[in-house]
Each structure stands twice: as C-alpha cells, then as structure tokens.
Structure 1
Amino acid sequence: MLGTRRVCAAAWLLRAALGPEPGRSASGARGQGWLQPAGYDTGVKVYNSLTRRKDPLIVSRADAASWYSCGPTVYDHAHLGHACSYVRFDIIRRILTRVFGCNVVMVMGITDVDDKIIRRANEMSVSPASLARLYEEDFKQDMAALKVLPPTAYLRVTEHVPQIITFIERLIANGHAYCTAKGNVYFDLRSRGDRYGKLAGVAPGPAGEPGHLHVKGGGEKMSKSLKNYITIKDFLRSASPDVFRLFCLRSSYRSAIDYSEGALLEARRLLRATAAFVEDARAYVRGQLAGGPVQEDVLWERLGRTKAAVQAALADDFDTVRAVDAVMDLVHHGNRQLKAAAEEPRGARSPAVLGAIVASVEQFFETVGISLAERQCVPGAGSPAALHSLVEELVRFRLKVRQFALASGEAPGEARQQRLLERQPLLEACDTLRRDLAVHGISIKERLVHVGAAGSEDRRPQTQELRTATVLRPLSHSKAFM
C-alpha cells in the first residue's frame, strides 16, 4: 500500500534533490540486464541482485556519492536487530570514504507518522507527534552510542507529505497504481510486467536480509512482534560498541547474523588480544619491554602482504570477514616474534617494523570505527587520562618497593640471605598488588635484563635491572579501563 511506503517516497525525494543516478532507469525501462552506468568507478565490486553477480560500483561523482538509508519508524526503542543493520551500513560508509575516497552524502528517512505510532500514542495518552519526536531522539542517541556516523540530513515523512502525495498521484496517472474504495493506494504490478522489482533490485545497499539478527539455535529473527529482542541500551550496559562492531564485521553484510553469547565472547576475545598485542608492541618500541631483535624481513613482508589482502578484501563486496582474518593473522605473527625476542633479550632491537605494524593495525580498526586505545571510566572516577596516570604512578611505586626488596648490596652471602628474608613481606605485598590489579584488567609485565657497568646493554652480564611494562586490558564494560 503506497500510503505507508516510505521507501518509495523518500527515494524519490533523494533523486529530486541529488539528480538521477545514470544508467539505472535505462536498464529498467528496456527490460534488459543491468547496464553499467557512466560515472566514477569506486574500485569496489558489489553484489548485484539483478545480475546475481558482483558488478563495479559506479557513482555519479566521487565527491558527492548519494546514499539513501531507510530510517526507523519511531514508536519504540531500537533493538539489536536495528543496531546490526545501521552498524553494517556505517562500516560500509566508512570504508567507501576512508579507503576508496568517496564523499558520501547520506540522507535518512524517518517515518514519524504511522499506524503503530498512532496506536502507541493513544496507549500512552500523548500526541503522535510528541511520541515520534521522543523516540526519534532516543534512536539518535542509540546510534551515537554505537559510533554510527549521523547522516548528512534526515527526512521526516510529516515534513514532506505534499511531495509524497504528488508522487503517488503521478503513479496513479501513469497507470502504475490504483485507488481502492477505502482510499488506499496500491501498486499495479501488471503495469510493469516482468520489470517490476528490477529497479529496487539494483538500488544501493545490501541485498538479501541486510541487518537481520537471528537468535542462534531457534532460527528466529529478533523482532518486537516475537518479543525476543534486546534493546540497544540494555546491550550496551554489559558490552562495548567496539565489541559489537567486531561481531558485525565477522559476517557478510548481505547475510543474517546468528546472535549468540559465544559469538559475542569470541569477538571480545579477539579485540582484547589485538589490544594486548598493540600495548606489548608499543612497550617494546619504547624500550619498556625487554627483548632483542625480531625477524624484520619476515615481518615487513607479512605487513605488506596483509595491507594488500585487506585492500583486496574490502574491494570485493566489502568482505570484512577476510579483512579481519588478515589483520588477526598479522597480530598472531607479531605476537610470536615478540615472544621469541623476549626469550633472547640481547642484541640490537627492531622497533621500526613493530611500530609500523601497530600503526597499520590501528588504522584498520579506526577505519571501521573501532578504537583499540579507548578507555571508558566508571561514573565519578575522573577522566580516563587521569586514571591512566594514577595507575602508572602506582606501578612505579610498586617497582621501587620491589627493587628495594631485591637489592642485596655488598653484604656477604649469609647477611645477604638474611636481608632478603627480612624483605620477603615486601615482595609478597608487591605480588598481591599485581594479582589485584590483574582482576581489574591491568597487567604488569616484569623482566630482568642484563646491563653493563655504564648502564648500557652489554653481552657480558655484570648487573641486572628490573624493567616493567604496564598493559591495561579490559575485563568487562564496567571496569575503569577499556
């Protein structure tokens, strides 16, 4: 029924504002297969539901690539099914912008008048307009919490009713729709024959079941009618938006997602492992993590191969699954090299290649809207930067206590043993503090390194120096650091 078909009306409004997309009407009007339009080739191939193959993504111009996004019907809180859809769209938008150089002009339609809105407003004894504004703002807050970039403009149905009526009247006049005795308007499918649906089929955006979240095991789609949904607000009380983004990245944007605690925990584990590697590699680059050289030629070659693999995957229908796998493989090999270097702490260090890997890994995750360095503080605990400084001071104090407890000076053997025995409670207190901090996601790594008499590293061990590296790792959303 056209009276509630916001997609049709809003898509027409977008075309009126930005102009027709070249080649689309021609392919539909002639009843032929898809014709590649003229314009800017983004370098991406996307699945075309009309041809059932991957075709080049052509936009009219790179500096203003138009995108219409169907927004919510604002009568209730958004749930994870909605979150899945909009996060996936946001990831694609970011990739188009930051990897393939397209400046996306996105317009989102907001259905703020609808039978559901009217019924809900009557139940709550409020006006439909006030209810719609309430849940529209609620939706925008949810999107901001999920790090979804806002559209260039919102189009509310109530603000474009005259244009929608004109559009529907034109469809009736052209014989593509008809009016019933009750005043409802329906498409006349026979007027377009086998061409019906082809225009929609090649419209930008995912085909199949974009953004659908299925409850694993039951095979049901998460929806309000089935009352099996989780609101975005409830979800974010126990999980981070970064974990949810990685969860979405690990499946194709064109497929439904099986939602399960196991899949979510795996995304969280991968994100923690990546953040831990980045922290360890940074500590190595700063000289705070003991270690010798790594196999630079191997890591440089693997870094170059990973960059090429990520670019190729994203250009192949936004294949984020392959891209994430390539990055995680690089992290795995970087970790192996760090471990090997720690076992052989002598010799020249190799900070450049590990620094380049850290930069590349962070750049990928930042591109898709995930921050590995972000730390969220509990309410009233102060700024994340202040908390981080506080922890660093605590760790430095612990290091001084531990160094004092281990120092034996020039005392003879028996006196040295007695002194260490007397200071054993200090060492035990340091170990207890280390374990307590680990509960809150703060890992303290310590290694003894050999230094020469002048303080520079030497192949001949003369003295030992204790060095630490502090790694802040989140254990849950409620902890002080994320």
Structure 2
Amino acid sequence: MTESWEQGKGRRTQPPWSAPNTNEQPGLRLYNSLTRSKELFFPQVGRKVTWYCCGPTVYDASHMGHARSYISFDILRRVLRDYFKYDVFYCMNITDIDDKIIKRARQRHLFQQYRESNPPHSDLLQDVNTALIPFLQRISETNDPDKKQMLERIQTAVSAALLPLQDALNKNTGAEELQKHSQVLMEAAVDLLSDWLDEKHGAQIADNSIFSQLPKYWEGEYHKDMEALNVLTPDVLTRVSEYVPEIVAFVQKIVDNGYGYVSNGSVYFSTAKFHDSENHFYAKLVPEAVGDQKALQEGEGDLSISADRLSEKQSPNDFALWKASKPGEPSWESPWGKGRPGWHIECSAMAGSILGESMDIHGGGFDLRFPHHDNELAQSEAYFDNDHWVRYFLHTGHLTIAGCKMSKSLKNFITIKDALQKNTARQLRLAFLMHSWKDTLDYSNNTMESAVQYEKFMNEFFLNVKDLLRAPTDITGQFVKWEVLEIELNNCFYSKKAAIHEALCDNIDTRTVMEEMRSLVSQCNSYIASKKVAKQFPNRMLLRSISSYLTSMLKVFGAIEGEEVIGFPIGGSENSMNLESTVMPYLQVLSQFREGVRQIARQHKVTEVLQLSDLLRDDILPELGVRLEDHEGLPTVVKLVDRETLLKEKEEKRKAEEEKQRKKEEAARKKQQQEAAKLEKMKISPSQMFTLETDKYSQFDESGFPTHDTEGKELSKGQTKKLRKLFEVQEKLHKEYLQMVQNGTTA
C-alpha cells in the first residue's frame, strides 16, 4: 500500500526561502571639489537638498560661459529632483553691487553725457588723441598676451578711424562728411574714451540711482535668456542691494568672533587668524593658490587695487568684507562709516540668511574656486563657528570657443541671444548633455553639429514609432506573440536602463547616458528593419515602452517640455499633442487617397498626376510641417515635423542635388578634357614626339628617335630602353588615330 503524503510529511522539511543573488543598486556619487573625488551623496536632512548657486554679476549681456554653468546646474538639479526624487530647495544670488558694475555704470553714464554734448569734430579728435596716451601706456604694461591682443585691436580700430576725420578737417570737408567720420570715430573709441572720462570725472558721480539702473536692466535680460534656455527659475533669488543690512550684521559678527578687523573705515578678514585657529583651515578648495596675489587682486576688484587700500591690510592674503566707499561709488551706512559690501561676503550673508549654518550643495564655475569660494567658506565658517558650511562643492568646467579661451573682459564671447540665432535651446542643452558637466566644453561648429545630428536621430526614431502606433488594430491585436527578436530587444532595453542608472549614479554622467540612449535607438531601428525584411509588423507595445522611457529621460534633462508621451513637441508648441491627434487622421486619409491615385496613374502612365503627387509631397505639405515618406511596397509614412526643419531639409537636399550635378558636370568636363588631350597626343607621329623636345635632346636617328642629350653626350642604354617604350606606345596610339581618321570617327 502506497504511503500517503499526509503520512510521510514529517520526514521532509520545506527548504528555506532565500533572496535572489543581485547586485545592490549603486548610490549617487558626486564629484566634490572639497575632496577632489567622487563622494557618496547624503543630504543632511532626509530627502531635502539645500543648494546655493553663485549667480551672475549683471553688468553686460549673458554669454555662453553663463549658459555653460546655468544649463549644467539646471540639468543636475532636474536629475536630483525628477530622477533621484530629492526635494531640492535651490537658492541663487544676483550680484548687483560690484566693482565691475560701478565702473561700467560710471563709464556708461559719462560716455552718454559726452556723446549727447555733441562735441565739435576738432574737440573729439583732440580728446581721442589725449585718451590714447594712457591707453597706450596700459597696453605696454599688459603682460597677458590675450588681453594685450584685445587692446591692440581697439588701438588699431581707433587709429584707422582717426585718419579720415583728420583728413576731412584738413581739407575743410562738408558738414555731412565730417559728421559721418565723427560717428565712426566715436564708436571705435568708446572703450578708451569711457576709461579717460571715468578717470577725469568718475569721482564726481554721487547719485546711487546711476549704479542701480545698469544691473537692473541686465538682470532683466539675464532672466529672459534663462527662460529662452528653459532653465528653471530658482526657489529663492537674492540681490546684494536688498541684503545690505544682513551683510553688515554678518561682518560685525565675524569681527566679534575675532576673525575680522577694521582699518580706515574698511573691514578685512584675517586669513592668518582663521587658519591658525583650531578646527579651521583657509583655502580648502585650492590651498596651493594661497599667496597668488594676481588672483587675490582680481577678487578684490579693479576699484580696490591701490596703494592705500593694500596698506590697510595686515597681510596681502587678507580680503575685504566691507569697503569704505570712495568718491564716485555707491555707499550705505555701517558701524564703520559709509561703505559697500566686498564681493565674497555677499554670498555668505545671503546663503546664510536663507539656508542657515550648513548647506548640502554649493555650485559655481570652475574659476570661482579661488579666491571667491575659498573666501566664502572661510568667512562663513568664521561666522557660524563650524567647519562644514558646505558639504558638497560642485564646479562646472570652463567653456572655450573653437578651442580659445572665452572671456568677457577680452571681448571674446558669444552672447546667449547670438547663440540662439544659430541653434535652438534644445540643441544647446543636448550639446551640454553630450559632455561632462565638470570638464571643459568647447563651443564650436563641430560640437553643435553633433548635437543637431543627435536631435535629428532621436526625432526620426520617435516619428517612426508614432507612425507604427497609428496603424489600426483592436485592443487584443496590440498583444502579439514575442519571438526571439522581441526578447533580444527587451533584454537590450533593460540592460541599457541599468547602464543609464549606473551612469547617472556616477557623478550624473550624462555623456554616457546619451551614448546608451543612442545605442538603444540603434537597436530599435535594427529590430524594425529586420521585421520589415521578414514582412512582419514590429511589436508596438515594446516600441511604445522604449520610446516612452527615452522621452521621459529627455524630460528629466529638460530637453523636452510638455505632456508628450513620445517624442519632441512639434514646433515647440505646448499644444502639440492636441495638434497631432487633431490633424493626423485627416493627413492619413489624404495619404491613403494620394497612394490610390498614384497607383492608378502608374497603371495608366499618367505622368502629370504622378508629378502632382510628388509636388504635394515635396513642396506643398512641407510648408505645413508635414513629411510624407514613400516606401516601395509599403504604406506611405506620415510625420508631423517642424516647418522650419522641413524647409531646412528641403534646402539642404536642393544644395546636395546641385552639388551632385556640379560634380557630375565637372567630371564630364574633365573627362572631355582628358579625351581631347589624349586625341591631341594621338595625332603626334612617333617620329616627331622627341624631335620637339630640343631642351632634352640634340641628335636623332632617321626615325626621329633621340641618340644624344643637349650636351652632345650619347644616351645610356637604360635611358634608351625607357625612351623606346615611350616611342612604341606613341606608335600604337598614332596608328589608332590614323584608323579613326580612316573610319571617320574623329574630327
């Protein structure tokens, strides 16, 4: 009798449950400038991330250097918020009190006054010549080769504009001609005249409103640029001019804590006292730069570099917390007299007011590490009496233009507005995504072309998937059996997702992410092509999942805005989904009708109808942002694309066809020339070919074959052998020619 399961159950025990052997998901690591290494990221409080970013000094147009930092930080912020799901609290400042702003505002005001005074032509000429004297001295004292070259370019332009006005005055030219030359000189000499006027009259300016108008205007332009670049606005924006009382209180506490000292109405930070105190260290970011007087003086500002200011310091390494205002500078009341904030103190006071004694992340450009950020760290830790004001310091890499250093002071920069005339905000962002945020980025035609091609590559994939998804089917028809190709593609999909996650955990490595996304799309394209070859319909559910994921990642990076589930918005429109769902049914009906008409026209050989069909595809619909793609034996593919993109493609196609035709004609012309040259050569009798070369040979035999060179020396056997071969070839060619003449096949 067989033992029942009930009877035998006590003899066996259930095997214990075991967890699958899997590798733990990697944690986020960020490159921390404080340690110069990648560190695991841990916010100080739960999932909340406090972040302070150094904002712009607003005295001129925002340029691609600004875009480098603010787009890069926008990408990092979005990844932390939308991918890693941190609650990011983002604070940024606007520097609207600064030596550069003060000097630029004075110069601008004085130059406008000078221009409006409409000086006589002779006075303008004299003033420019007078202003040239200190300008030339400045050039001779400049050691920086890039800056020297920039100043020399200005000098060359001014000199070129001086001569016509001088000649016109000497010749007593008419008023209209003189005015034209004066205007040219005024524009060419704006920099040196501004400097000269500031030296003469800058100290007389006492109206604080003159110093606020300039930064207010450029701050407005900066915000417009950031909006155009799709950069998220900060949660908190602080302006130095609005935080002067907090800055004064901040400086006072540093003095009270023993790390600041008053000197002649200014307040300085004692780097030595701070560094020598327990638990403090000066220049955590770049300790090797301590003592770099050039960097320190740049940090203090042009208006603060003078013998009297330097003598006020206990050490050349000390820096200003509060500057006693000189004549011609804005000022505010303080316990030490009328003055204005130093550059470094503004960030410490404003960030401290908003974020408290310690923040998770502080961001800025690479060139701000020393002295600006090192000084921020020192004075903030002196104020809060701690050693951890910033946990993670993130610094974006430099931006170069076609390999050259970019600098506003060198007038070698491209404004954001100019850049957006050539490329879209998405293309600029893609270019940044394709490079590491902390490395130098070269803004060049090659860089931007790579971004444009990447966008086009992704967009074509999205359009193709959308076309596949529009094919009619019922609900059950969407679920088809997975074969080997589907399983392989799905495995690739999950492998790429894992690689993308790992790359984002590795210092938010968007460069690798973009390559993995490109590779995934390539796999999808190969899969679609394989299904077409097998005359099978691709698995729409799988392609929808992949394209939706890629779209979501591009949304995380800020490269797609809107509610699209798949692909880029059409024409940047927020209502592009409604547009597509509204017009696509009509376009598909039109496409199907056109295909039916084309089939009938081909059967009956009605070329005029076929030409009209091509005209609809190539000229009419692209103007409306519609692309039709005809494929032999397959339904026409309908795609909604930006009108500008289609017209650009059409123009590029036209140019390519013209170039192809030009090359074809050039090849035909060369072939004709070669044939004509060959024919001319064939006409020459072998008995004449060498006798014409009297510069090489002096004697010939009865057949015209050379026997001696020009010096009368008999030719060697080797030379004779080579020439004999040429003689025989010509003999053959000439016989062919004579035959052609006899047959009447040549002129």
> How high is the TM-score relative to the length of structure 2?
0.50
Letter in 1 for 2:638: T
Corresponding residue of 1:376 = 571
**Further displaced range: 300-309 or 369-378:** 369-378
Aligned partners of 1:65 and 1:42: how far apart in 2? Answer: 19
Aligned partners of 1:237 and 1:392: how far apart in 2? Answer: 35
Where do residues 151-190 of structure 1 align in structure 2 (5 Å cutoff)?
151-181=234-264, 183=266, 185-189=268-272
Aligned partners of 2:576 and 2:443: how far apart in 1? Answer: 31
Contact 1:97 1:104 in 2 (8 A): yes
Aligned partners of 1:224 and 1:392: how far apart in 2? Answer: 52
Establish whether residue 366 from structure 1 lines up as the match of residue 559 from structure 2. Answer: no
Corresponding residue of 1:430 = 613
> What is the Cα deviation at residue 161 of structure 1?
0.6
Contact 1:70 1:108 in 2 (8 A): yes
Query: CA, structure 1 residues 113+470, in 2 after alignment: closer, same or farther (shift >3 Å)?
Result: same
Query: CA, structure 1 residues 243+392, in 2 after alignment: closer, same or farther (shift >3 Å)?
Result: farther
Q: Secondary structure at the match of 1:337?
A: helix
Corresponding residue of 1:214 = 400
Aligned partners of 1:137 and 1:316: how far apart in 2? Answer: 36
Aligned partners of 2:632 and 2:486: how far apart in 1? Answer: 24
Letter in 2 for 1:235: A
Contact 2:81 2:88 in 1 (8 A): yes
Aligned partners of 1:127 and 1:199: how far apart in 2? Answer: 37
Corresponding residue of 1:204 = 362
> What is the Cα deviation at residue 314 of structure 1?
0.6
Establish whether residue 80 from structure 1 lines up as the match of residue 64 from structure 2. Answer: yes
Contact 1:377 1:479 in 2 (8 A): no
Corresponding residue of 1:461 = none
| Number of aligned positions between the proteins | 407
Aligned partners of 1:479 and 1:139: how far apart in 2? Answer: 31
CA deviations on 1:347-387 (whole Å, 9 max, x unpaired) are x6411111111011101101100124223279xxx976797
Q: Which has the larger radius of gyration?
A: 2
Corresponding residue of 1:297 = 487
CA RMSD of aligned residues (A): 3.4
Where do residues 27-66 of structure 1 align in structure 2 (5 Å cutoff)?
43-66=27-50
Corresponding residue of 1:97 = 81
Contact 2:459 2:568 in 1 (8 A): yes
Q: Secondary structure at the match of 2:34?
A: coil
Corresponding residue of 1:26 = none
Letter in 2 for 1:363: S
Q: Secondary structure at the match of 1:104?
A: strand
Query: CA, structure 1 residues 188+160, in 2 after alignment: closer, same or farther (shift >3 Å)?
Result: same
Establish whether residue 270 from structure 1 lines up as the match of residue 428 from structure 2. Answer: no
Query: CA, structure 1 residues 187+296, in 2 after alignment: closer, same or farther (shift >3 Å)?
Result: farther
Corresponding residue of 1:397 = 590
Q: Secondary structure at the match of 1:43?
A: coil
Q: Secondary structure at the match of 2:27?
A: strand
Aligned partners of 1:377 and 1:68: how far apart in 2? Answer: 31
CA deviations on 1:203-260 (whole Å, 9 max, x unpaired) are 5336845152112333x1x221111111111211221111111111111111121111
Aligned partners of 1:62 and 1:143: how far apart in 2? Answer: 30
Establish whether residue 335 from structure 1 lines up as the match of residue 335 from structure 2. Answer: no
Q: Secondary structure at the match of 2:97?
A: coil
Corresponding residue of 1:323 = 513
Q: Secondary structure at the match of 1:331?
A: helix
> What is the Cα deviation at residue 198 of structure 1?
2.3
Where do residues 403-482 of structure 1 align in structure 2 (5 Å cutoff)?
403-407=596-600, 420-421=604-605, 423-436=606-619, 442-447=626-631, 467-473=635-641
Contact 2:402 2:443 in 1 (8 A): yes
Amino-acid identity (%): 29
> What is the Cα deviation at residue 274 of structure 1?
0.5
Q: Secondary structure at the match of 2:570?
A: coil
> How high is the TM-score relative to the length of structure 1?
0.75
Letter in 1 for 2:568: A
Contact 1:250 1:320 in 2 (8 A): yes
Q: Secondary structure at the match of 1:72?
A: coil
Corresponding residue of 2:408 = 224
Contact 1:245 1:370 in 2 (8 A): yes
> What is the Cα deviation at residue 467 of structure 1?
2.2
Letter in 1 for 2:608: P
Letter in 2 for 1:212: H
Corresponding residue of 2:163 = none
Q: Secondary structure at the match of 2:39?
A: strand
Corresponding residue of 2:713 = none
CA deviations on 1:104-127 (whole Å, 9 max, x unpaired) are 111111111222223333344473
Query: CA, structure 1 residues 256+237, in 2 after alignment: closer, same or farther (shift >3 Å)?
Result: same
Structure 2: runs of 5 or more not aligned: 1-24, 110-208, 288-359, 368-395, 474-479, 561-566, 650-747
Letter in 2 for 1:299: L
Aligned partners of 2:81 and 2:642: how far apart in 1? Answer: 30
Query: CA, structure 1 residues 111+475, in 2 after alignment: closer, same or farther (shift >3 Å)?
Result: same
Corresponding residue of 2:309 = none
Corresponding residue of 2:534 = 344
Aligned partners of 1:315 and 1:395: how far apart in 2? Answer: 44
Letter in 2 for 1:135: W
**Further displaced range: 207-216 or 359-368:** 207-216
Establish whether residue 117 from structure 1 lines up as the match of residue 116 from structure 2. Answer: no
Aligned partners of 1:358 and 1:53: how far apart in 2? Answer: 35
Query: CA, structure 1 residues 479+233, in 2 after alignment: closer, same or farther (shift >3 Å)?
Result: farther
Aligned partners of 2:236 and 2:455: how far apart in 1? Answer: 33
Indicate the structure with greater helix content.
2
